[in-house]
Amino acid sequence: MTAREDIATVAGQLAELTRTVEEMASQLAAVSARADSQQERADTQHERTEIQQERIDLAARELTEVSDRLQAAANALRASV
């Protein structure tokens, strides 16, 4: 094999390697974009969950207050009878 043939072979291999690296970079970019999108969805879901938990906590406090008032009314009614 001549030096010229060696150079041509190496150049071909280098071109193939370059195409492979470019393809891998493209695939990596796509995976990264999907991961970012999934993270955004997870963050949004987490925010929704926190808001729902705050509403549940508020409803539980309000229910406790109503229960306390009902109990006090029932006690007052018993005392008056």
Q: What is the DSSP string of 32-75?
A: HHHHHHHHHHHHHHHHHHHHHHHHHHHHHHHHHHHHHHHHHHHH
Q: What is the pLDDT of residue 15?
A: 97
The SS3 of residue 2 is: coil
Q: What is the pLDDT of residue 46?
A: 98
User: Over its length of 81 residues, how does the chain's per-residue pLDDT go in tens digits?
Assistant: 799 999 999 999 999 999 999 999 999 999 999 999 999 999 999 999 999 999 999 999 999 999 999 999 999 999 998
Q: What is the pLDDT of residue 5?
A: 93
Q: What is the pLDDT of residue 24?
A: 98
In angstroms, rounded to a whole number, what is the distance separating the alpha carbons of residues 74 and 55?
28
Q: What is the pLDDT of residue 81?
A: 83
